[in-house]
C-alpha cells in the first residue's frame, strides 16, 4: 500500500479507503461482526489506514464495530465519519446540516467509536436549508475543541463547497481538505465541476461506488443479455452495458478481474482520486487491494475514456471550442505553455 497527502493538509492516508457501510446486517444485508472484523484486520495488515463510516451506517452498528476493532490501535487509523443524516425519524432537529444536529451527532459518534476525536469529519449531504456561514463556523468550533482534526464535504454542489472554502479562508478557519463523490466509469459527471474544483482548491477526492454498485464487476451482463434483468437504472442501461463489455474485454487481456481494471482506471484517471471500496467479506476486499498491481496502458485508458465519455455541457464545451479559443487568445492558444 502506498500513501497520499490528503488535500492541503499534511495527513497521510492510504491510496485505498475502506468503506464500512457493509459493517453490520441491520439493513438486511452486509457483513456480520466476524466478517467485518476480518475485513478491518486485513485492510490494516496490508498497510491500509483510511477508514470511512457515517453516523447512520447500519443504524450506528458500523461505528460501534469500528470502535471495538480500533481498540489498542487507534493511532494507526485515519478515521473518517459523517454527520447530516437522521437517527431518530420524526424529530425535526435530528438530521440536517445545522449546528444543533452537528453537536448531537458528533457526541453520539464519538461515543460509538470509543474515541476522543475524529480525524476527518464530512458533512454528508447538503440540505439547502442551512447557511454556509453557520456550517463552517460550527465545524470550526469542533476543530478548536479538539473533537475533529480535519473537515470534508460529501454529496454537495461545487458552488456550495467553493463558497464554504472561501468563507473558511477569509475567516482563517479550518479548510476543507477532502471531497467525497460518486465516481466511476459509469458516473463521470463529477468531471464537469466537482473534480476540477477539488484540484484547483487542493482537496483530495474520495470516490464512493467506484464499482457502481457491482455493475462494473460484469456480474449483470448475462442476465441483461438474456432479458432476465431489466435495465431499470443508468447502471444497467445500454450505455452501461457497452462500457462494462469493453471493461470485461480489457480485464481478460490483463488477466485480472473487471473490478480490478475499473479501480485501476479510476486511480490512473487522476492522481487526486482515492477509491472507497466496500465489501461483504474479506475475499472481496482482498481482490480490491490486489488491484494495485494492475496498470492499464495508455491505449486501454483511452479506450475506456472514449466509451464512457460524457457531455460536459455549457459552458465547458463552449469554452473548449476552437472558435472561442481563437477570440480569447488571438490565434496564439497553441503557442502558450499551460
Does this model's pTM top 0.85? My answer is yes
pLDDT at position 272 is 78
Task: Report residue 231's pLDDT band, with 50, 70 and 90 as the boundaries.
Answer: confident
pLDDT given at position 230: 85
142-198: pLDDT as tens digits: 999 999 999 999 999 999 999 999 999 999 999 999 999 999 999 999 999 999 999
81-96 pLDDT tens trace: 999 999 999 999 999 9
Q: What domains does the chain contain, in order, with CATH numbers? A: 3-215+257-295 (3.20.20.100)
Task: Given the residues 3, 57, 83, 312, select the one marked as catalytic.
Answer: 57
57 catalytic, yes or no?
yes
Cell for 295? Answer: 496498470
Amino acid at each position: 500500500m502506498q500513501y497520499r497527502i490528503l488535500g492541503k493538509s499534511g495527513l497521510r492516508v492510504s491510496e485505498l479507503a475502506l468503506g464500512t457501510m457493509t459493517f453490520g446486517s441491520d439493513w438486511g444485508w452486509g457483513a456480520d461482526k466476524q466478517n467485518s472484523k476480518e475485513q478491518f484486520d486485513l485492510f490494516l495488515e496490508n498497510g491500509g489506514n483510511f477508514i470511512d463510516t457515517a453516523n447512520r451506517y447500519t443504524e450506528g452498528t458500523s461505528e460501534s464495530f469500528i470502535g471495538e476493532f480500533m481498540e489498542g490501535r487507534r493511532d494507526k487509523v485515519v478515521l473518517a465519519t459523517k454527520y447530516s443524516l437522521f437517527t431518530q425519524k420524526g424529530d425535526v432537529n435530528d438530521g440536517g446540516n445545522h449546528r444543533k444536529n452537528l453537536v448531537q451527532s458528533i457526541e453520539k459518534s464519538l461515543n460509538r467509536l470509543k474515541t476522543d476525536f475524529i480525524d476527518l469529519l464530512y458533512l454528508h449531504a447538503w440540505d439547502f436549508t442551512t447557511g454556509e456561514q453557520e456550517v463552517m463556523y460550527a465545524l470550526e468550533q469542533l476543530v478548536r475543541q479538539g473533537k475533529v482534526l480535519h473537515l470534508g464535504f460529501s454529496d454537495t454542489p461545487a458552488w456550495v463547497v467553493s463558497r464554504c472554502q472561501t468563507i473558511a479562508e477569509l475567516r482563517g478557519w479550518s479548510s476543507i481538505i477532502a471531497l467525497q463523490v460518486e465516481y466511476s466509469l459509469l458516473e463521470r459527471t463529477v468531471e464537469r465541476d466537482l473534480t476540477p474544483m477539488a484540484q484547483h482548491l487542493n482537496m483530495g477526492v474520495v470516490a464512493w461506488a467506484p464499482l457502481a454498485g457491482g455493475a462494473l464487476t460484469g456480474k449483470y451482463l448475462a442476465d441483461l443479455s438474456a432479458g432476465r434483468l431489466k435495465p431499470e437504472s443508468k447502471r444497467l442501461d445500454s450505455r452501461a452495458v457497452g462500457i462494462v463489455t469493453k471493461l470485461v474485454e480489457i480485464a481478460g487481456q490483463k488477466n485480472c478481474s473487471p473490478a480490478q481494471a475499473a479501480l485501476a482506471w479510476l486511480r490512473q484517471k487522476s492522481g487526486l482520486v482515492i477509491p472507497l471500496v466496500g465489501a461483504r467479506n474479506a475475499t472481496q476486499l482482498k481482490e480490491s487491494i490486489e488491484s494495485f498491481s494492475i496498470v492499464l496502458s495508455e491505449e486501454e485508458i483511452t479506450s475506456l475514456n472514449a466509451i464512457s465519455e460524457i457531455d460536459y455541457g455549457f459552458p465547458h464545451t463552449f469554452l473548449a471550442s476552437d472558435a472561442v479559443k481563437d477570440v480569447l487568445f488571438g490565434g496564439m492558444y497553441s503557442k502558450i505553455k499551460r
